[in-house]
Amino acid sequence: MGPFVLEFSWTTILISLLIFVVRVVGMALDTLRIMLILRKKQGIAWVLGFLEMVIYILSIGVVLADVNNVLKVVAYAAGFATGNVVGMWIEGKLAIGHAHIIIITRQAGSVVAEALRANDFAVTEIPAIGKDGDVWLCDLTVRRKAVKEVERLAREADPEAFITIEDITPLRRGYWGSGQLSR
């Protein structure tokens, strides 16, 4: 390996931009693939893994053929880092899977649960005692696409509500809205 070269020809700039874009796509696919594996979506994860490896082999080959070119190496590394963020953003927009939400409210009779039920969410209310006295836990499981709506409804009913969210994998069945029971 010789000295590093910082070349700014149009060809090198275009190839570096292409390396960056291809690496962003490859890492976005990889991030999505990992999220899908965690959600037991093996088929689509296989396809994404295959595509990601083709992209990886082609892009790393171009970089390794001219490894002393700083612009290509930086483009590769920046594409890798950016691809992670882009993949996370895409996965967030797709919102595949389910979420378990717990809302802790001081609203007696749980105004929060009533607001959620009025919008077709199945809620289990649990009376509890918190650090400062009586509270109500509103426990529900929803599709991840509905999380923002649940949060909005809870905040409207009780701006002081404490809300936690976890990604889950349902084992059996549940109510997912619109009168449909998922089996």
* pLDDT tens per residue across span 59-76: 888 888 888 888 989 999
Whether residue 181 is predicted with pLDDT greater than 60 in this model: the reply is no
Instruction: Give yes or no for a contact between 67 and 10, defined as CB atoms under 8 angstroms apart.
Output: no
pTM: 0.68
**Residue 179: which H helix or E strand, with range?**
none
Name the residue among 129, 92, 127, 130 with its Cα closest to residue 110.
127
Q: What confidence tens digit (pLDDT) does each residue in 22-65 have? A: 999 999 999 989 988 888 888 999 999 999 999 889 888 888 88
Task: Tell which residue, 30, 136, 137, has the closest CA to residue 81.
Answer: 30
Q: Are 136 and 105 in contact (CB under 8 A)?
A: yes
Q: Report how far residue 63's alpha carbon sits from residue 124's, in angstroms, rounded to the nearest whole number.
A: 55
171, two tokens? 């084992």
What does the pLDDT read at residue 4?
67
- 50, containing H or E segment: helix 42-65
Rounded CA gap, 139 and 96, in Å? 20
Please tell me the number of Cα atoms within 13 Å of 17 on its side-chain side.
7
**Cα separations in angstroms, 153 against 16, 115, 148:** 47, 7, 9
**In this predicted model, what pLDDT tens digit does every residue of 151-176 receive, in sequence order?**
999 999 999 999 999 988 766 666 66
Give the bridge partners for 182, in sequence order: 174
Q: Which two tokens stand for residue 142?
A: 């929803």
pLDDT band at 85 (very low <50, low <70, confident <90, very high): very high
